[in-house]
Structure 1
Amino acid sequence: MENETDVFYRELPKVELHAHLNGSVSYQTIEKLIKRKPHLNIEHGMTAIDKGQRRTLDECFQVFKVIHQLVDTEEDILMVATDVIKEFAADGVKYLELRSTPREEKNTGMTKKSYVETVIKAIQQCKNEGVDIDVRFLVAIDRRNGTEVALETVKLAEEFMLSSDGLVVGLDLSGDPTVGHGKDLLPALQRAKNCGLKLSLHLSEVKSQLEESDLLLNLPPDRIGHGTFLHPEVGGSQSLVDKVLKNSIPLELCLTSNVKGQTVARYSEHHFKYWYERGHPSVICTDDKGVFSTDLSQEYQLAASTFGLSHEAVWKLSQQAIDCIFAPEAVKQQLKQKWTDVKPHVFK
């Protein structure tokens, strides 16, 4: 039985802005994928990090490689994306921005274009079925692939921004933060910005990226993923913080992901506290709900219990996330109305 507190977090309408498609695949969906591909000999322990477990960042990226082996056809992508969207909706998420790097698989004939097309198809299918969630897509650049591939990805995102009826809204920069340098990706990111794509960039995920963070903040991005080591108390700098504050760049904060991935030692030391105390726009997100065995309701509950937030403060945090979405103003207004409509029910 769920207790009253659990029910509050489940019923709280939520916005999820930092969810990697392949990292969000649930235990149940992995089960279906494993059955489809028994020859791979993949077990569950290889695709998720359970309660109480921790992994280095490098080990976390190994988990993704395993999941990519299971998801290598358009059929897999369609099932995965549909399941992920429905699971977020079941968790009370009313607006979701999914992100994923377009992949091609020579063996199965999947192309980068058909990859994005299939994600869009899944979004449209869920909408047609009346699933109560508004979903948009961010095309992701994997930083390890360098300048040329990044530019190709931007062209693809640009094409879909114009043809997807508003479903492709922006670009994500992600991938192993210890590989490559942001300066090589600046031409692609600048091009994306110029053509009207919104930018969400993984920034300062690991220490010693001051120069890169400074470069990328000059763009500036529309949102920051993680920003773990931006502020001076953890080895960042005041000048980086000043740039974030000056441009009011919202942060996408993923508590469990950072603790399980060992970039933050414990929940109480999470940088959510630093930004929240300064009244800076901070959006609670899951990052990879499948890999890190969590969901957005749990993440809100963790933030509240760790930092002493009242239900009213949690409501405000969830509602303010609407201002950080990449969809147009009209969508923000619809969501705000939805929050107003359901509030009496949530606080009954």
Structure 2
Amino acid sequence: MMDNEVDVFYRELPKVELHAHLNGSVSCPTIEKLISRKPHLNIGHGMTAIGKGQRRTLDECFQVFKVIHQLVDTEEDILMVATDVIKEFAADGVKYLELRSTPREEKHTGLTKKSYIETVIKAIKQCKSEGVDIDVRFLVAIDRRNGTEVAMETVKLAEDFMLSSDGLVLGLDLSGDPTVGHGKDLLPALQKAKNCGLKLSLHLSEVPSQLEESDLLLDLPPDRIGHGTFLHPAMGGSQGIVDKVVKHNIPLELCLTSNVKGQTVARYSDHHFKHWYQMGHPSVICTDDKGVFSTDLSQEYQLAASTFDLSREAVWKLSHDAIDCIFAPDTVKQQLKQKWIYLKPQVFHYRETDSL
């Protein structure tokens, strides 16, 4: 009974998801649909990891990523994937979602980077027209592996869509293999993005060797930090860097399961969430890749609460305070805060009835 009651509380809790990669969020049922549509790819033999869920090794997680990239190469695929992902987040009680993805082109199917973004926007609008209870926005991702020139092109694309998408495209994500390249080469593109009004969410210090780069990129400064695993002195970072983050009041997007499964954090109790949370610094619980890492946002909140002994009121505050970290305008923040006020009595109702 208790487990069920706990599950209900976290599922009913209204939530904000600010760090979700589109392709990494694809669920097993969606992958199965994609496989059935593309028998010519002969995917099956190497797919043993798909049904393993929580038991996937890190290598198997990356294998799933590769398979998804093989399977998603047309506008039709992207539309289905984005629609499924949005509806799954909504079913998990997420009321506001910022999806992110690197626009891809596939010459053999005619997919262009522009049509990639257009299709994600189409999925967002489609879900809205169907009355799905979630406000979805999009961040265009720069993959650091692709270098300076592509980064500049991506900024131009993002700027065009920011001006034409009626507020659906809000900013840029910087991600990709953290061991490749250096942030200094991407500074001109990121500065250009900032100058034209795009919001910036940058993956920083995902690996220990990135401190110098993080220090440099924090001078922009970004509007949010993805992961920031090794920024804090307790994690091998520096007080100077923490001071910069605090000075600019830059929120952190923290992904517990992703870091533990990705083996950048040894165990949940070691997660850097505790350092930033104890400081009272804006910290938002996120999933990163809910499909690949077999999690959802309800589970991530539950993990944070059980690991760091957070009361339900503290969990509610964490969820509510995440609203201040979104990239949408203040009018949207106010609407979300009203929604939280409206939902609070019914979310906490479960505990009252079960304790009678």
- 1: CA distance, partners of 2:21 / 2:111: 19
- 1: CA distance, partners of 2:111 / 2:79: 12
Give the conservation status (yes or no) of the 8 Å contact 2:207–2:230.
Answer: yes
- Report the alpha carbon displacement of residue 234 of structure 1 after superposing the two structures with TM: 1.6
Rate the CA distance shift 1:165–1:120 in 2: closer, same or farther, 3 A. same
- 1: CA distance, partners of 2:231 / 2:126: 39
- 1: CA distance, partners of 2:51 / 2:290: 9
Q: Does 1:195 align with 2:196?
A: yes
Question: What is the correspondence of 1:129-148 to structure 2 with a 5 Å cutoff?
Answer: 129-148=130-149
Q: Which moved more, 1:207-216 or 1:112-121?
A: 207-216
- 1: CA distance, partners of 2:209 / 2:61: 20
Q: Does 1:259 align with 2:260?
A: yes
SS of 2:53's partner is coil
Q: TM-score, normalised by structure 1?
A: 0.97
- Report the alpha carbon displacement of residue 235 of structure 1 after superposing the two structures with TM: 1.3
Q: Does 1:220 align with 2:210?
A: no
Deviations 1:19-51 (A, max 9, x none): 000000011100100101122232443557731
- 2: CA distance, partners of 1:48 / 1:233: 36
1:250 corresponds in structure 2 to 251
Give the conservation status (yes or no) of the 8 Å contact 1:54–1:259.
Answer: no
Give the conservation status (yes or no) of the 8 Å contact 2:178–2:207.
Answer: yes
Q: Does 1:172 align with 2:156?
A: no
- 2: CA distance, partners of 1:128 / 1:68: 28
The structure whose residues are more often helix, as a share, is 2
Which amino acid in structure 2 is aligned with residue 222 of structure 1?
D
Question: What is the correspondence of 1:188-337 to structure 2 with a 5 Å cutoff?
Answer: 188-337=189-338
- 1: CA distance, partners of 2:179 / 2:278: 29
- Report the alpha carbon displacement of residue 215 of structure 1 after superposing the two structures with TM: 0.8
- Aligned residue among 50, 53, 57 for 1:54: 57
Which amino acid in structure 1 is aligned with residue 218 of structure 2?
L
Q: Which moved more, 1:65-74 or 1:159-168?
A: 65-74
- 1: CA distance, partners of 2:179 / 2:121: 31
SS of 1:103's partner is coil
- 1: CA distance, partners of 2:48 / 2:152: 36
- Report the alpha carbon displacement of residue 61 of structure 1 after superposing the two structures with TM: 4.4
**RMSD, matched Cα:** 1.3
Give the conservation status (yes or no) of the 8 Å contact 1:47–1:66.
Answer: no
Rate the CA distance shift 1:85–1:189 in 2: closer, same or farther, 3 A. same
2:48 corresponds in structure 1 to 45
Give the conservation status (yes or no) of the 8 Å contact 1:286–1:296.
Answer: yes
SS of 1:277's partner is helix
Unaligned runs of 5+ in 2: 350-356
SS of 1:170's partner is strand
Q: TM-score, normalised by structure 2?
A: 0.95
1:98 corresponds in structure 2 to 99
Percent identity over paired residues:
85
Give the conservation status (yes or no) of the 8 Å contact 1:47–1:64.
Answer: no
- 1: CA distance, partners of 2:41 / 2:73: 12
Rate the CA distance shift 1:117–1:9 in 2: closer, same or farther, 3 A. same
* Structure 1 runs (4+) greater than 4 angstroms displaced: 46-49, 59-62
- 2: CA distance, partners of 1:49 / 1:329: 42
1:24 corresponds in structure 2 to 25
Give the conservation status (yes or no) of the 8 Å contact 1:49–1:291.
Answer: no
SS of 1:173's partner is strand
Deviations 1:300-338 (A, max 9, x none): 000000000010000000000000000000000000000
